[in-house]
Chain A
Amino acid sequence: MQLQYFLLLAAALFCIGIYGLITSRNAVRVLMSIELLLNAVNLNLMAFSNYLDPTLIRGQVFTVFVITVAAAEAAVGLAIVLAIYRNRDTVDMEQFNLLKW
């Protein structure tokens, strides 16, 4: 088992998340893509923590912080989606132009 396998897998997951973030029309799916991106970053951190820094596992500490921020982001993001849905009566990302010129 090498470090490169984990890094390649995380890179693939990150690119899938980027694709979903840009192309999806449903606002909830955009939030799910953001979770995919954060998971890819977590996998990178854990792989570095295991292979490059196994005595002081600082990568795992960073992963715990990223998980915390992801939980807060998911709660606030879904509340925003709920508020926009209540006002606009849609979840289509193409019609959310409130802050767009």
Chain B
Amino acid sequence: MNLAEAVQLVSFVILGLMMIGGALGVVLLSSIVYSAFLLGAVFISMAGMYLLLNADFVAAAQILIYVGAINVLILFAIMLVNKQQDFAPLPNAGIRKVFTALVSVGLLVLLSTMILATPWSYSTSTPTGESNLVLIGEHFFSDFLLPFELASILLLIAMVGSIILARREYIPDQLPVSELPQTILTLPERPRELVSTTSITDQNT
């Protein structure tokens, strides 16, 4: 084992431990804010894995989109629905968790035996290295053109749908009949009800 392989192995072990530990923290910790930050750690270690796999463009996209967009979005959602409540205990909650853990470990064992038993046909050609951005661009505009365009439509639909879902509801029988010169650029929305004493977060939503 030469130096490069040793460095790769050590960084793989560090990133893997960071990823598995972060994922366990996301699932098992009780505070959801800690879970969100550990999810960011998982995303960053995943970007390191992509660098180990000779994919620099996707690693940069992973950090930009997952850490920069999705994780921040999750943190904003946590801040908006931040209701400190203790969930009512369920009957047989322990049995449920034990059974789910058994199913998950069984799935892991099944996948592991499948991975270790399969004879993978390794390619002998060298990885493309730094020209993979050019290759991805060629794929996008030749043989993956239709999914590429569909992805833009999907993003547009998701943007419109999430705006409509998160907006306050529109009540049509309260159409303003006044002819006063009111401010023009206002959406007709339900006025925010000031539910007192419960929490401040209601006013933010």
Contacts and interface: CB of A to CB of B under 8 A. Distances in A.
A78 B73 contact: yes
A47 B48 CA distance: 13
Given A29-B32, A32-B26, A8 B112 contact: yes
A99 to B, nearest CB: 16
B161 A79 contact: yes
B155 A9 contact: no
Contacts of A28: 32, 36, 74, 77-78, 81
A56 to B, nearest CB: 7
B165 A79 contact: yes
B140 interface: yes
A16 B65 CA distance: 22
* Secondary structure dominating the interface of B: helix
Interface in B17-52: 19-20, 23-24, 26-27, 32, 35-36, 39, 42-43, 46, 49-50, 52
Contact of B12 (A5, A25, A58, A67): A5
Interface residues of B, number: 85
Nearest to A54: B127
Interface residues of A, number: 74
A94 B125 contact: no
A94 B22 CA distance: 26
B170 to A, nearest CB: 13
Interface in B73-96: 73-74, 76-78, 80-81, 83, 85, 87-88, 90, 96
Nearest to B27: A20
B77 A71 contact: no
B185 interface: no
Interface string A30-43: 01110110010011
Contact of B81 (A9, A20, A63, A91): A91
A51 B122 contact: yes
Contact of A32 (B74, B132, B144, B165): B74
A74 B74 contact: yes
A53 to B, nearest CB: 6
Given A15-B104, A52-B121, A35 B70 contact: yes
List the 8 shortest-distance A-B pairs measured between CB atoms, nearest first.
A20-B27, A72-B158, A79-B162, A79-B165, A11-B111, A54-B127, A50-B53, A15-B108
